[in-house]
Amino acid sequence: MGPILIFDKSTLQSLNEDEAMWLDNFFLSNITPLFYIETLADLEKEVKTGRTPEQVVGNLASKTPDASSKCNVHHKALIAAELLGQEEIEMIHGRPIISGGRVLDLEGKTGVIFEPSPEEKAFERWQRGEFLQLERFQAKIWRDELSQINFENIYKMFQRFFLIKRPKNFKDVKEFTDLCINNLDREAVLIFGLSLIGVSQESRIVILERYNVAGKPPLYEFAPYFTYVFSVDLFFYLGIAAGLIGRGRPSHKIDLAYLYYLPFCMIFTSNDKLHSSIVPFFLRKNHSYVLGTELKKDLAKLYAYYRKEY
C-alpha cells in the first residue's frame, strides 16, 4: 500500500485509464464525500463535448480507484462526533476515517469487517451506466444550492474585520485567521465558529455546556478538527473580503471544501488554481501538495516503463 492520496475531480479528469490504473496501484486513495457530490452534480450539467451527462459521469467513475481506495466519513459527521465528545479525531498521521465497520469473532480472534459504503456502491453502478432517480434529484439540489451562494453578501459582511488593516496576500490572511481564532475570549470565538459552520442552535447549547464544564480550554485542545475546519472557512471568507478570492465563481466553495479532508491524507493533488494558492497554508510538516499535471506526467512514465518491461 502506497502513500495516502486525495485528489479532486480536475486531477482524475486529466488522467487516461492507463494512468488511473497506476494511480490505483501505487497509492491508497482517500475518496472524499465531496468528490462523490461533485461527480454526481455532473448529471445536471450541460455537456459541450457531444457526450451525455451519464457518459461523462460513467467515464469519471471508470477511472476512480477501487482496488486501493477508501471513502472518508463526511466532515460534518466528524465535527459533530468531536464536539459532542463522542470521538477523538486523529489528524496527525494522514489516515482516512471510514465508517461501516462490523466487529466479528472468528476462532477466538476479533476482527473488523468494513462493508462497501453507499458512495462505493454508487460508483460501481455508475461504471455500468446505472443511475438512480434519487441521485439525479440530489444532483439538481446540489447545483441549485451552489447557485444560491451570494459571495457579494459575504464580501460585505466580512469587511468589518478589516477596520485597521486589510490583508495584502494569503499569508496575511492566514496570520489574521489564526489571530482571530486564538482570541482571548474563547467562548465568543467558539460561538462564532459554531455559527459559521452551521451548527444548529440546539446542538450549540449542548456543546457550550460541555465546553464550560471542561474549563474553557483553547479551542485547538477542546476540538482540534472543528477548529481546523473553522479556520479553513474563516480564511476563505476573509480572503473574499480582502479581494484575494474572486466573487464570481460559486464553485470556489466546492474547491475550498476539499481542504476539510487534508488531515486525512499524506498527499493532496489538484489542477485547480485556488488550491495551488491556499492549500500550502494548511499543510502539515509531513504533508505534500502535488500539481495534477505533475502527477499525470509521473504516472505516464510508470505506464511507459512497465509496458516496456512486460
pTM above 0.75, yes or no: yes
Which is nearest to 45 in space by CA: 213, 270, 214, 254?
254
Q: Where are the beta strands (DSSP E) in the chain?
A: 4-7, 28-31, 69-71, 101-106, 109-114, 267-270, 288-291
Task: Tell me what pLDDT residue 108 has.
Answer: 67
Q: Rounded to an integer, what distance in angstroms lies between the CA atom of residue 176 and that of residue 181?
A: 9
Cell triple for residue 308? 516496456
Q: What is the pLDDT of residue 274?
A: 93
Residue 103 is predicted with a pLDDT of 57
pLDDT along the chain (310 residues), means of 10: 89 93 94 84 72 83 87 91 94 87 64 66 76 72 71 90 89 95 90 93 94 95 97 96 88 89 96 94 92 96 82
State the Cα–Cα distance between residues 277 and 68, nearest whole angstrom.
Answer: 29
Residue of 102, 100, 40 lying closest to 70 (CA atoms): 100
**238 φ, ψ to 5°?**
-70, -35
Residue-level pLDDT at 310: 56
- The pLDDT value recorded for residue 272 is 93
Q: pLDDT value at position 15? A: 95
> What span, in angstroms and rounded, lies between the C-alpha atoms of 149 and 3?
35
